[in-house]
C-alpha cells in the first residue's frame, strides 16, 4: 500500500513580477493578498469580496454558511487571512487561497455535482464544496492522517445541514491515499488538491468526468510551483492545462515525510 497524500498545506503567493501571465490567468496585486481579515466569518467573506479576491456569488454564499472557526485549533485567529496550524504539521489554507480555488471550480460545483477534495486536512473546504453542490450532490474528502479526519467530521457535524449530508453519505471524509484519488466515488465533476505534486497524477485525471475540472498545485518541493487548472474535454479524450498563478505549497507526499 502506498503512503497517503499530504493534507491541506501552507501556501505563499510569489510576487507578481516573477510571473509570466498565461492566457486566462488570475493575477492580483500584492496589495490584495493576505489582507482580507475579519472579526467574524461574515466580515472575512465580505473582505474577500471587497478585495476582488472572491468573485463567485455562490462561493461567497457557501463560505458564509461554513464558519471557519469550527475548523481551526485557535478560534482567535480563525478569520485572519493566513494559513492556520491544525496540528500534525498541517494547516488550513489562507482564506484568499480557498477563494481563488472556489472561483476556479465554481462552474463545476452546481447542484448535484460530484467533488473530490484531495488532502482535505481540516475538512473546511470539503464542507464549503458541500454547501455549493447541495444535498443532491456528493463530496468526498480524502486525508491520510486519521486524527485530522476525525476532527473534520466532528467539526462538520456542528453544522446542521452538513451533519445531515454526512449521515446520508453525501458528504464523506475518510482516511486514504489521495494521490490515488477515490475510485469508488468517481467520476467527479471537480477535483481539488491541497498540496503540490511533482506532476499531475494520472489517477486524478482518470477520475474526472468528461467536461470536469482539476485544480492542483504542481512543482518541486521548496521550488517553483504553479497552480494549474486541468480541464477534460467533453468527449473525455483530451486534457487542457493552464497555469493560473505562482504558489508555494508543501508537497503531496507520504504521511511519514509530512510528520518527519
- Kindly list the catalytic residues: 93
Assigned C-alpha cell, 40: 467574524
Q: Where are the beta strands (DSSP E) in the chain?
A: 84-87, 90-92, 114-118, 138-143, 171-175, 188-193, 208-219, 225-232, 239-247
Spatial separation of the C-alpha atoms in residues 64 and 59, rounded to whole Å: 9
Cα 90 to its chain centre, rounded Å, is 14
Q: For residue 100, give the nearest of 210, 202, 245 by alpha carbon.
A: 245
Helix residue ranges per DSSP H, the chain: 41-50, 57-65, 95-105, 124-133, 146-156, 160-168, 202-206, 255-259
The 10 Å CB-count burial string (b at 16+, else e) for 151-189 is bbbebbeebebbeebbeeebbbbbbbbbbbbbeebbbbb
Beta strands 188-193 and 208-219: pairing type?
A: parallel
Q: Is 83 helix (H, G, I), strand (E, B) or coil?
A: coil
Amino acid at each position: 500500500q502506498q503512503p497517503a497524500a499530504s493534507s491541506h498545506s501552507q501556501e505563499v503567493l510569489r510576487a507578481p513580477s516573477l510571473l509570466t501571465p498565461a492566457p486566462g490567468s488570475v493575477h492580483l496585486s500584492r496589495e490584495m493578498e493576505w489582507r482580507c481579515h475579519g472579526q467574524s466569518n461574515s466580515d472575512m467573506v465580505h473582505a474577500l469580496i471587497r478585495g476582488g479576491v472572491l468573485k463567485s456569488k455562490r462561493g461567497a454564499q457557501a463560505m458564509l454558511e461554513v464558519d471557519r472557526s469550527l475548523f481551526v485549533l485557535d478560534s482567535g485567529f480563525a478569520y485572519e487571512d493566513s494559513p492556520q496550524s491544525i496540528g500534525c504539521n498541517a494547516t488550513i489554507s489562507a482564506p484568499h487561497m480557498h477563494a481563488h480555488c472556489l472561483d476556479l471550480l465554481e462552474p463545476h460545483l452546481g447542484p448535484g455535482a460530484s467533488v473530490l477534495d484531495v488532502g482535505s486536512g481540516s475538512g473546511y473546504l470539503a464542507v464549503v464544496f458541500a454547501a455549493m453542490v447541495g444535498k443532491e450532490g456528493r463530496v468526498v474528502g480524502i486525508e491520510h492522517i486519521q486524527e485530522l479526519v476525525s476532527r473534520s467530521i466532528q467539526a462538520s457535524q456542528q453544522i446542521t445541514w452538513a451533519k445531515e449530508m454526512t449521515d446520508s453519505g453525501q458528504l464523506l471524509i475518510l482516511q486514504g491515499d489521495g494521490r490515488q484519488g477515490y475510485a469508488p466515488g468517481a467520476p467527479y465533476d471537480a477535483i481539488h488538491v491541497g498540496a503540490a505534486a511533482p506532476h499531475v497524477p494520472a489517477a486524478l485525471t482518470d477520475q474526472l468526468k468528461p467536461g470536469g475540472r482539476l485544480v492542483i498545485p504542481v512543482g518541486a518541493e521548496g521550488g517553483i510551483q504553479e497552480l494549474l487548472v486541468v480541464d477534460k474535454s467533453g468527449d473525455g479524450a483530451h486534457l487542457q492545462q493552464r497555469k493560473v498563478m505562482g504558489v508555494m505549497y508543501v508537497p503531496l507526499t507520504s504521511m511519514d515525510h509530512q510528520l518527519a
